[in-house]
A and B are shown apart, each in its own frame.
Chain A
Amino acid sequence: AQKITQTQPGMFVQEKEAVTLDCTYDTSDPSYGLFWYKQPSSGEMIFLIYQGSYDQQNATEGRYSLNFQKARKSANLVISASQLGDSAMYFCAMGSIQGAQKLVFGQGTRLTINP
């Protein structure tokens, strides 16, 4: 079974600072994918970034990067130069690379950016 743990219920950061959101995972699958989604107060889930377990380099998408440490089973999201619009819930998720991509989600971290 796959499991995602996000240990930070809430984070408060000053605008323009970098922030790291923690995510640890557990799986017996030899190959898997890790995702981060953003959920604003409107409720929609917005895909941010993906990391495959066999990818040699950490994924980056604009201001988002994923600090993937396979031996430690962690996949932390780093947001550089935070903006007020980054205030939202952030969810880490994982799924097997092969098959139906059934995603397992963590409980989320509420990020608040202060001006």
Chain B
Amino acid sequence: QVQLVQSGAEVKKPGASVKVSCKASGYTFTGYYMHWVRQAPGQGLEWMGRINPNSGGTNYAQKFQGRVTMTRDTSISTAYMELSRLRSDDTAVYYCAREFIAAAGPSYWYFDLWGRGTLVTVSS
């Protein structure tokens, strides 16, 4: 079954770090970029960055540069997103999402597979 399974909810104190995992199954993990998207309570979707699971190369949204680190472990088909120096406004559901490139024509891509999300609560 093609799916992304994320780690469980976390509660962290301001200033701490959190590491969320996303385990892929049912497809070749190294064949698709993995993105991370977050959603604060009652807010829209916010793109954080992506990782190439094959090379480990990353692209981060400017907003998170210096605070976010995306890594992967190909031996267990798992991607990780670590966010440091947490603040209360980092409270959100964090999603991993697979980038799929359409087969025909120009390189149209989209998010075709999503994890169920991991709630990270930052509170003193």
Chains A and B come from one and the same complex: no
A residues adjacent to B (C-beta < 8 A)? none
B residues adjacent to A (C-beta < 8 A)? none
